[in-house]
Amino acid sequence: MRNFSAMQFENVTALAEGNVYFDGKVISHTILLADGAKKTLGVILPGSYHFGTEAAERMEIVGGACSYVLDGSEEPNNVSKGESFEVPANSGFTISVKDECHYVCSFL
């Protein structure tokens, strides 16, 4: 299993202004990698939140835990530090967090 908590990015451009959602309960920052890839790094505070996707995404959990339900499904899936899940393009998911969850989102 990949050690996401030790994830480190070299030679990136970090956008200083954060993305703030749901009254500050979800906050992320965008980084642009040297190869042109874009990722967001953030934290999700306790609650349940729905996100829509345009591009496919991979959510890598680097701290804490959460559960998610993909649009079109009713089955919750639990993930914790060191695990990930993917969301199809033009779709969405609901993510629920009990304590807090730190993540890296890659756009596929």
DSSP sequence for 64-90: EEEEEEETT----EEEETT-EEEE-TT
How does pLDDT run across 65-96, given as a tens digit for each residue?
Answer: 999 999 999 999 999 999 999 999 999 999 99
Distance CA 71, CA 49 (A): 12
Determine the pLDDT at residue 11: 87
Question: pTM for the whole thing?
Answer: 0.89
Question: Rounded to whole angstroms, what are the CA distances from 28 to 72, 73, 74, 77?
Answer: 26, 26, 27, 22
Half-sphere exposure for 88 (CA within 13 Å, toward CB): 7
Domains of the chain: 11-107 (2.60.120.10)
| Rg (the chain; Cα; Å) | 13
How does pLDDT run across 27-59, given as a tens digit for each residue?
Answer: 999 999 999 999 999 999 999 999 999 999 999
Indicate whether 5 pLDDT > 80. Answer: no
